[in-house]
Homo-oligomer: A and B are copies of this chain.
Amino acid sequence: MPFTTNLLHPLPNDLTNEVFTELLQQGAVRIERIVSNGHVSLADFWYDQDENEWVLLLVGEGEIEFADGERVRLRQGDALNLPAHTRHRVTFTSRPAVWLAVFY
């Protein structure tokens, strides 16, 4: 019988670093939970991914900056689609912020 995994409880105790948990991987699809705790991208770091990413903020808030300088604030329930090679960086996360990421 299928079994459930809860994405909200428990959260990792040690959030010194962001915690990435793979929930599913099959073929070209990968689902991850990402728990941030005030973490932001390093200065001048840009994500430039080969995969498309659809991201949903489950808990808290975050902010993503794009290469054109625009910043998008995300709140609980907000989803954003990031096509492959959309250069972006994370400029704010609440303590904590829980993201669901679907790479495809």
Q: Cα distance A79–B3 when bound, in Å?
A: 8
Chief secondary structure at chain A's binding surface = strand
Q: Cα distance A28–B1 when bound, in Å?
A: 25
- CB of A104 closer than 8 Å to a CB of B: yes
How many copies the complex holds: the figure is: 2
Q: Within residues 69 to 89 of chain A, which ones have a CB less than 8 A from any CB in chain B?
A: 70, 72, 74-82, 86
Q: Cα distance A80–B102 when bound, in Å?
A: 15
Q: Which chain B residue shows the least CB distance to A8?
A: B77
Out of B9, B24, B52, B102, name the residue touching A77 (CB < 8 Å): B9
- CB of A58 closer than 8 Å to a CB of B: yes
- CB of A66 closer than 8 Å to a CB of B: yes
